[in-house]
Structure 1
Amino acid sequence: MKHLFCIATNRFTLDWHRVRQSDHAVLAHSMPVMGRLQLISHGSGLQWRDSMMRSGVPQAVATDASDTNGPPLYEQTEYQLYLRGANEGDTVEIRHRDPVITRALNSQENGRVVHGSVNFRGQIGRSLFSIYVNGNRTLDFEVEVFPTKIDYKSDYQDIVADVQSILTNLAYEYLRSTHQMGKLSSDRPPSKLEWLVLIEQIIDELDTAMNHIAQRPTRALVRRERTSRLERIRKVDSRVRAQVRRGQGKGSLVRLNGISVREQIVERPAELTLDTMEHRWLRNQLVDVQRTLGQIANIYDSEAELTSRRKRTLDGITRLKSRVSRLLNLEPIKEADGDPPIGFASLQLVSAPGYREAYRLLMFLKMGLRLEGDLIQLAVKDLEVLYEYWTYLTVVRILQDEHGPPQNLDSLFRVRSSGLSVQLKQGETQQVAFSTGKHRKIRVKYNPQFSNHDTTLIPQKPDILIRFEEDGWPIIQLVADAKYRIDATDNYRKQFGAFGPPADAINVLHRYRDAILEIDQSESDTFELKRSVIQAAALFPMNPSPDENFHDSRLWESLERLGVGAIPVLPSNTAFLKEWLLSAVRQGGWSMADRAIANSADERSRDWRIAASEAVLIGTLRAPGTREHFDWVMSERVYYQPYAKTQPRQYHVKQVAIYTPASLGSPGIRHVADVRSFEIVDRSDIATPWPPRRNELMVLYRLSPIRPMNRDIEFTAQDFMPTQGRWTTRLGLERARSVSEVALETEPEWRLLEWLRATNKQFSVRLASAKNQDAQNPKGRAWFHFESGDRVRFDGTNGFLWRPKDGDERYFSLRDFIQHQET
């Protein structure tokens, strides 16, 4: 535990410690920062003690209460504080505008001691604490929290600037533990969030200005008609003289200086009044303030349960409403009745003491905010949220630079508002689309959720999804996950060749790649689940050091090799992200498909489907003269058999395998060759060392070099090889272990064979005539005969044809047939 600073006074002592050394990122270590500790005393009588200290600050400066230097504090770091009253019987308290930051603090010894932990989590900026002694505010101290993984003065400010360039409200919150300094902007009206931030900032000054107006109001002279007795008229004007001449007025006539005059005359004396246009303008503005506060409060009143932050916010709004109500009851404002003219302005309103301050402050409420300057304190969102927003906007910006503005740019600005928190809308609707031509479209989605029960067991929610839609190709997608975490340990660097996101963050990418599925409709109108994510990258905040080449790290290389990796991204370093994105954007469907990691089972299944459609001839050797025939085939690389009009497979042979009989050793199928070409010729045209037995048409196959098979197919006691040879497919040839198994030409037949063997079923295999196979719907010609006299054959898409000894034939799927046999 490291002692960071101590504030020692005659009223209390506060000690602040860091619990343990955090794994601050390399960037934070390489760019040291000076922290902040500003002390603001309230009232007189507070005396500073010599035991004050600030880590990293010379002791001569540490005891100077006016100096603002202090130790830097960091995000995601646990701190311990200990506050103790100096005098017996004193109670102490530490307060913060954000209740979350102080909820781990405890009070002991009847309120004389406060201690506990403080963790700013992902919040960056200045944070103000207040110390109360015996219920009186005694001291404020302000610290500054720095990011651990990025540069505070460049990368962090650039991230905030990029986010608020889209929408300022995305960058900040109403109530957080830290704040940044901001300024007013007149380029747009404020949102309710900005408005509430402003009214909270100006309410004290507005209160002072309005009280000054109440104490020294500027009154106006007004003339109102009233009927007065003659003796009470102080000023005889033209209106009074006209009434006397005409005998107008009320009451009986009386003689006055020889003139007959009515007892009462209507006059218009000048009077002072508080009902001025300036006061009416101020009253209207305060009424608007009160109405807006009520609208914001209704957001929280409608919620059944409030969090501590929301409750604190609602309490703050209630206090603001009370203060505005008091201002409305000040005499000058209360006396004002009516509305000022539209666009009213006066020299008094903008220049008189009190009036000009109130006018300026109320006009502030009509302006927006910017996260720069030093006028307004703004609470910024947690850094991991800002980083996620920024990476999404950066991906959009890179694609915009490549293909121009997206087709639906307005959708980027759609937000959802929860109380006073403004966030990017998540899910399928939050996307922008780029058209890269007539036949291709790219969509960038923010936080889409995959929760379809037909495609997902557990919902998946990546941060960013780049979706490619191209004619003739299924959906191809890239995933980017913003991870504001770095593993900067030596073991990590040794394993991956660079610092990067933690291993668990990379594991999540493997899950996204395999768990995000799309329903693909095949040409046969069947719906199949297919993987659509070909690459997934974790985006993490770091600048690789100049002495390392990130391209050589496993994090980068594995993107192409494994489809999963990591990319460093910061405002000062977007080159790697741009390279990754554009390498996909500038490729077509074929090239992108090549980047997908193939599934070995899928490839084998696809190969077997093709193999089931490729005809293979199992050739036999003549007897006698078996050795002579074998040597001739091997040297001349040809093989022939009689032409048969009823055997169309002769035209589609892909391979010829050679069965060697017992006369040449152990019997079996040991050699194979690909068919290069074939022709139909007379037997007399084929030159052989032995004479032809008779002249007939032959199919002559010209072969590639004859090679030994990868695995011999042995001849067993139950096997039978016809003298004229046997037909099969490449699937049967590659999977067979015995000569009889060669007859099984399709995958379903092999599945059935494996089940029969596993359950020790007794059966035999008999062949129907050989036919050409349909690559999309291969059928078997092997009948599985059982001791009961029943038999079954694979019949392609119809399933298995079951012909019992007694009864009608039926079709089964393999699973249903197995269940039927087991019952």
Structure 2
Amino acid sequence: MEALLKLVHEDFELLVSCNSYDRIYRKAAECMRVEQDSEALLSYYIWDGDKAVLTFRGISIEKGAYVPSVFFENTDYQYWIHFKKQVTEACIDTPLRKVSDGFCFNEDAQVLYGHINYGNDIGRADLKIAYRLREGVRNIFSFGYDVLAIKLDYHSDLKHIIADIEAEYRMLSLDFFRRTHHSFSEKQQGETPDIIWWNLFREVNEEFVRAVKIVVDSPRNRIVCEEVYLRADKLKRLTPKLEMQLVEHRQESGHLYRTEVSTMSVDTFENRFLKYAVRFVMQKFVSLKERIMANYPMDSNGKFIEGLADTEEELKRLVYHPFFRTVGAFKGMNQESLVLKQGTGYSQVYRDWLLLTCSYDLEEGIRSLELKDIATLYEIWCFIEVKNLVQQLLGGEKVVVDNQSRMELNKHFTYSLAKGQKSKVVFSRRTSEGDLVELAEVIYNPREVLGKSSTETSIDHTYSFTVPQKPDIVLQLTRRDVENGFKLTYLFDAKYRIGDTDIDGVDVPPDDAINQMHRYRDALYYDPKQEGLPIKKEVLGGYILFPGNGKDEDVENANFYRSIEKVNIGAFPLCPNNEGSAHLLERFLRSLIWEQPTVQILQDVKSHKGTSLTIEKVGNILAVTVFENGEREYYDKFRNRENEIEYYFGKITPSNKLGLLNFQKYDYFVPVIKGQIRDIYQIDFCSVMYRKDLPHREGKQIADDDVRIVMKLVKPSYLIGSKQFVPLKSVLFPPRHWGFREFTSVRELLSFTV
């Protein structure tokens, strides 16, 4: 197993490998239409300290230097960390359970190994290796790098997408619990969203607590005069007034005389601000922590939850510190204070407080913020592009826009774009009489209302009588040349995927995305709900929007574009940061809005013959050879189709194939028995366990470093209707050879049957 990256540290050695790296790198260069040494494919690496040495395929890499990227979206990477010193525990320090659960530490071998697939999360990633030396010292080493997109230029296209989304819907790009993050700069003016506050506090938490402790241990104080009553023998300084009182009451030994003494007090303006700031931060942190635990319980790992509890306990300990009992209430920042700006401890608390009250700007900065995955961002951006193109073609600023779209709070922390009628944007023109005449409307993700016999969508009088249908974008053009208020419906689906690149250099959309548009058109019907009136097809056309490239003249000759004229289903390339990318889509919309009369559009509609059925299952499939062993344990279980089987693989070693298996990505398991297949199982549970913790014969010798991948298989289903074993091509699983293969669908698997 060749290591792409090798980082040598005094405590450990990190190896990163990827079997498909060269293919992925070439594909990224092809999709972006750049040379393989282009700046679009560069990344930079940073790490803690100056003692570590990083190499890429044997070539030394300087810290912070831009070099060809290793990490890309939707790609499996294997990490192998071998410790040189004795370590009692090691893990990847991350709040994400799906990342931490992919790693396993073998203390006997002193190895931490695992897999990461960043999915559609692109941006900066920090691999934090946490380990405890045998002496008890716990260290955390951070290794940072870029995770690039394959289909878009991460360095320029992503900024364009975010800028367009933020201009329409501020904060919609932000997300939480992602595997990558992005830099942002703070702004002194504007509101402080909760997610911004949380990300900022994560960065300043330790220094804030440390600064408060410094102040509490050595606070600033001031001299105050305090009124007291003392007997004559306790008076230390006599004023003329006191002298007169002494003469007057010289016969009264118990008489008390009023005087003032100087004392040191901590009840200062600065300490009142400190008390207020600590209490506010504690209350805010506890409130957000409770919301995170309530809404992200399955995403958080145990160490992250423990860390939140420790931080809460530390903040509460400071809030209820005896020091603050003698400090009064803060009454506002009504004066300047050099102590807050320059005093030891005070200045740090004040700087952190100002930072926590900032807004944000998604420009390059030193702060970290997590964004939605690129597929979701691309979908929202496509909706905005279609909406803006329609408005521009209808007259730009002259058209009256009723933008009903809005954001909704998602899980009480981040925002999502409202769907269905809540996302509708209506375009109208005002007549000379002042009345509004509707021209078009655009809807994002029309919702469904389930009924007894049909599912009603957000498109007026439109139903699905089988299963719910969820196109990304709906465009309805209102016509009056055949019937007043008659609407033509067109569907768009934004797919952040590219199927292939044809011989003319044109990117092609995925086949399943085109098939989806066929299904949409055949599934959605117009039902006027009037007696005697039949239901009719509602959708005239369906189109894929995908981040493809190619010259306009070449795209026009591609099948996916020519099919639009023939059957009104096809695709349009649409890339951000590319002025000419939307030209074909704009020309098509212009033709629909201004050039084609309704009668011609309706006459061009072809009769529907239905779509081909598919047996594809959603999810990745792992096919594995099962031998007839001596005990016939697995062999008999699979032959008898037991409903629940606990299956574990062979021993994991750095040299065998199992070390490369990203076991957590699979949803289905297919046993290959004597080169034949019959059943497919759902993978209910998957983990890494020691062999000694699994069932075994009493007295059997098992090595301490014997680690296995364990899967719980449930709910077997037949792959084909005959319910018989079907032979596979021998090239996939040669006789008497154990092996495994990955398939993306049942259709792909069955294509290899004999």
TM-score, scaled to structure 2: 0.70
Cα RMSD, aligned residues only: 3.2
Which secondary structure does the structure 2 equivalent of 1:24 belong to?
helix
1:568 and 2:561 correspond: no
Hey, what's the Cα distance between the residues in 2 that align with 1:24 and 1:267? 84
Deviation at 1:102, TM superposition (A): 3.3
**Alignment of 1:465 onto 2:474:** yes
- d(CA) in 2 for partners of 1:517 and 1:322? 58
What's 1:151 paired with?
A: 153
Structure 1 Cα separation of the partners of residues 351 and 146 of structure 2:
30
Contact 2:87 2:132 in 1 (8 A): no
CA deviation after TM superposition for structure 1 residue 91, in Å = 4.8
CA contact (8 A) 1:37 1:71 kept: no
Is it true that 1:541 corresponds to 2:547 in the alignment? yes
CA deviation map 1:461-506 (0-9, x unaligned): 011111223442533111111100012344xx57xx8212210011
Q: How far 1:15 sits from its partner (Å)?
A: 0.7
| Residue matched to 2:368 | 377
Alignment-derived partner of residue 309 in structure 1: 300
Structure 2: how far apart are the matches of 1:529 and 1:238?
107
Q: Shift in Å at residue 346 of structure 1?
A: 2.7
Matched, 1:209 2:200: no
| Distance across 1 between alignment mates of 2:209 and 2:186 | 20
User: Does the 8 Å contact 2:46/2:64 carry over to 1?
Assistant: yes
- Give per-residue Cα distances to partners, 1:546-599, cap 9 Å, x unaligned: 8x5323322222223211111111222332333333332335762573475232
The answer to whether the aligner puts 1:477 opposite 2:504 as a matched pair is: no
- Residue identity in the other structure for 1:267: T
Residues 94 and 487 of structure 1: CA distance in aligned 2, closer, same or farther (over 3 Å): same
Q: Residues 405-451 of structure 1: CA distance to partner in whole angstroms, max 9, x if unpaired?
A: 78676633332321423211223322221114544332211111345
The answer on whether the counterparts of 2:98 and 2:299 sit within 8 Å (CA) in structure 1 is yes
Counterpart code for 1:536? G
Alpha-carbon distance between aligned partners in 2 of 1:340 and 1:119, rounded to the nearest angstrom: 51
**1:499 corresponds to:** 507
Distance in 2 (CA, whole Å) between partners of 1:224 and 1:550 is 88
Tell me which amino acid in the other structure corresponds to 1:223. C
- Partners in 1 of 2:88 and 2:309 — Cα distance? 31
1:160 deviation in Å?
Answer: 1.4
Q: Deviations over 1:641-683 (max 9, x none)?
A: xxxxxxxxxxxxxxxxxxxxxxxxxxxxxxxxxxxxxxxxxxx
Using the alignment, how far apart are the partners of 1:68 and 1:279 within structure 2? 47
Higher relative contact order (CA 8 A, sep 6+): 2
Q: Provide closer, same or farther for how the CA distance between residues 316 and 565 of structure 1 changes in structure 2, counting only shifts above 3 A.
A: farther
Verify: 1:446 aligned to 2:437, yes or no.
no
1:386 aligned residue: 377
| Conserved 8 A contact 2:90-2:129 | yes
Which residue of the partner structure matches residue 364 of structure 1?
Answer: 355
The letter for the 2-side match of 1:272 is: M
* Closer, same or farther: CA 404–320 of 1 in aligned 2, 3 Å: farther
The secondary structure found in structure 2 opposite 1:309 is coil
**1:83–1:92 CA contact under 8 A, matched in 2:** no
Matches of 1:291 and 1:373, distance apart in 2: 30
Deviation at 1:18, TM superposition (A): 1.0
Change (3 A) 1:511 1:238: farther
Are 1:18 and 2:29 an aligned pair? Answer: no
Q: Which amino acid aligns with 2:525?
A: L
User: Quick one: which of 578, 590, 594 aligns to 1:582?
Assistant: 590
**For residues 414 and 132 of structure 1, what CA distance do their matches in structure 2 show?**
38
**AA partner of residue 565 (structure 1):** G
Counterparts in 2 of 1:198-237, with a 5 A limit? 198-237=200-239
Shift of residue 121 of structure 1? 0.5
Matched residue type, 2:473: I
Contact 2:400/2:429, CA 8 A, preserved across alignment: no
- Are the aligned partners of 1:439 and 1:470 in contact in 2 as well (CA < 8 Å)? no
The whole-number CA distance in structure 1 between the counterparts of 2:302 and 2:429 is 49
AA partner of residue 221 (structure 1): I
CA spacing shift, 1:102–1:70, aligned 2, 3 Å: farther
- Partner-residue secondary structure (3-state), 2:496: coil
Residues 423-442 of structure 1 correspond to what in structure 2 (within 5 A)? 423-436=416-429, 438-442=436-440
Deviations 1:150-207 (A, max 9, x none): 1122111111121222334221223221111111123421221111112112212212
Partner of 1:813: none
Distance in structure 1 (CA, Å) of the matches to 2:29 and 2:446: 30
Counterpart of 1:85 (choices 79, 83, 86) is 83
Paired letter, 2:382: T
Secondary structure of the residue that 1:480 maps to in structure 2?
strand
Contact 2:406 2:423 in 1 (8 A): no
Aligned in 2, Cα 1:443/1:66: closer, same or farther, shift over 3 Å?
closer
Query: Shift of residue 238 of structure 1?
Result: 7.0
Shift of 1:545: 4.8
Indicate the residue corresponding to 1:254 in structure 2: 250
Bigger radius of gyration among the two: 1
Q: 2:405 aligns with which of 412, 417, 431?
A: 412
Q: Residues of 1 paired with 2:570 and 2:607: CA distance? A: 19
- Write out per-residue CA displacement over residues 682-723 of structure 1, whole angstroms, 9 at most, x where no aligned residue: xxxxxxxxxxxxxxxxxxxxxxxxxxxxxxxxxxxxxxxxxx
Whether the 8 Å contact between 1:275 and 1:332 is mirrored in structure 2 is: no
Contact 1:505–1:538 (CA under 8 A) maintained in structure 2: yes
1:78 Cα deviation (Å)?
Answer: 0.8
CA distance in 1, matches of 2:412, 2:302: 12
Query: Taking structure 1 as reference, are residues 312 and 108 closer, same or farther at Cα in structure 2, changes over 3 Å only?
Result: closer
Q: Is the 8 A contact 1:556 1:566 kept in 2?
A: yes
Is 1:129 equivalent to 2:120 in the alignment?
Answer: no
Which one-letter code corresponds to 2:540 in the other structure? Answer: I
Deviations 1:237-292 (A, max 9, x none): 577468668x6xxxxx326xxxx897321222221111112111221122222222
Overall identity of the aligned pairs, in %: 21
- Aligned equivalent of 1:532: 538
Structure 1 residues 445 and 156, CA gap change in structure 2 (3 angstroms): same
Structural mapping, 1:30-69, within 5 Å = 30-31=34-35, 32=38, 33-41=41-49, 48=52, 53-55=55-57, 59=59, 61-62=60-61, 69=67
Runs (5+) with no aligned partner, structure 2: 431-435, 455-462, 611-754
Give, in whole Å, the separation in 2 of the partners of 1:199 and 1:91: 28
Gap runs ≥5 in structure 1? 248-252, 603-823
Report deviation, 1:514. 1.8
Q: Distance in 2 between matches of 1:313 and 1:429?
A: 36
CA distance in 1 between partners of 2:359 and 2:286 (Å): 20
Do the aligned residues in 1 keep the contact of 2:426 with 2:438 (CA within 8 Å)? no
Residues 556/194 of structure 1: CA separation in 2 closer, same or farther (3 Å cut): same
Structure 1 residue matching 2:508: 3-state secondary structure: coil
Cα distance, 1:356 vs structure 2: 2.3
Q: Is the 8 A contact 2:208 2:349 kept in 1?
A: yes
- Taking the aligned partners of 1:527 and 1:227, their CA distance within structure 2 comes to 100
Question: Is the 8 Å Cα contact of residues 82 and 110 (structure 2) preserved in structure 1?
Answer: yes
Residue type matched to 1:170 in 2?
Answer: L
Q: Give the TM-score normalised by structure 1.
A: 0.64
Q: Residues 569 and 576 of structure 1 are in contact (CA less than 8 Å); yes or no, is this contact kept in structure 2?
A: no
Q: Which amino acid aligns with 2:289?
A: A
Indicate conservation of the 8 Å contact 2:95/2:301, yes or no.
Answer: no
What's the offset of the Cα at 1:537?
Answer: 1.1
Q: 1:376 to 1:557 in 2, by over 3 A?
A: same
Give the number of aligned pairs: 574
